[in-house]
Amino acid sequence: MSRQRNATLPSAAAPWAPVEESYADEELARGLAAGDEACLEAAYRRWSALVHTLAWRSLGDPTEAEDVTQQVFLGVWRGRGGFRPERGAFGGWIVGITRRKIADALTARTRRTDLLAAAGSSLPLTDPSARQPESVLDRVIVRQELAKLPSAQQNVLRLTFYEDLTQAQIAECTGWPLGTVKSHVRRGLHLLHRRMRDEAFG
């Protein structure tokens, strides 16, 4: 029976199943390179707790750590042909992917912060921690206000906020000229700024 190409990974917060001790790291690497999803599942059970811990310590957010853990093992699966045993241990290779995914998450967080600052988010909240752009309240408001924008502006801002794409990448993805993408971003941020200001002070 053929296996599904896109394996569904268990939650990093779920109870752990026993690790398959019969698999040596080298066997897991060879099995992954051959496209064996059982080896991906075994690698997940063996290293996902470590990956999740590293991500949680770096990001300070369990939800983001869960997302990074999923991204790491998707990266393991997609890049399985890139492991070279002469360069180091298989577990070290996974930790290297983890560090890159954590760095990507931190970059995306900074970009969202900068965009919210550009949008002029200035909510009159009494709790200083709630003023941070990563707060749940701000994220909910941004999503609500994004949904009210014209579809083109909504599209480019969603790609920027949630997919962490640059304007050049958005142009390539959508097929729009770069100038058109920049115009939609500028107009969308202006409308978002105005709507969020009205929400805060209206």
pTM of the model: 0.51
**Would 183 be classed as within a structural domain?**
yes
Domain of 96: which CATH number? 1.10.1740.10
**Would 5 be classed as within a structural domain?**
no
Domain of 185: which CATH number? 1.10.10.10
**Can you give the pLDDT at residue 20?**
45
More confident position, 39 or 3: 39
pLDDT, one tens digit per residue, over 67-83 is 899 989 988 988 888 88
Using the 3D structure, point to which of 66, 83, 108 is the last residue of a domain: 108
Q: Which domain holds residue 190?
A: 123-201
| Residue closest to 80 by CA, chosen among 23, 30, 114, 148 | 30
Angle of helix 25-33 versus helix 37-59 axis, rounded to 10: 110
Q: Are residues 152 and 192 in the same domain?
A: yes
Q: How many domains, the chain? A: 2
pLDDT, one tens digit per residue, over 159-195 is 887 777 788 888 888 888 988 988 888 888 888 777 6
**Can you give the pLDDT at residue 134?**
45
Question: What is the average pLDDT value for the chain, to the nearest integer?
Answer: 75
HEC string of the chain?
CCCCCCCCCCCCCCCCCCCCCCCCHHHHHHHHHCCCHHHHHHHHHHHHHHHHHHHHHHHCCHHHHHHHHHHHHHHHHHCHHHCCHHHCCHHHHHHHHHHHHHHHHHHHHHHHHHHHHHCCCCCCCCCHHHHCCCCHHHHHHHHHHHCCCCHHHHHHHHHHHCCCCCHHHHHHHHCCCHHHHHHHHHHHHHHHHHHHHHHHHC
The tally of CA atoms less than 13 A away on the side-chain side of residue 180 is 11
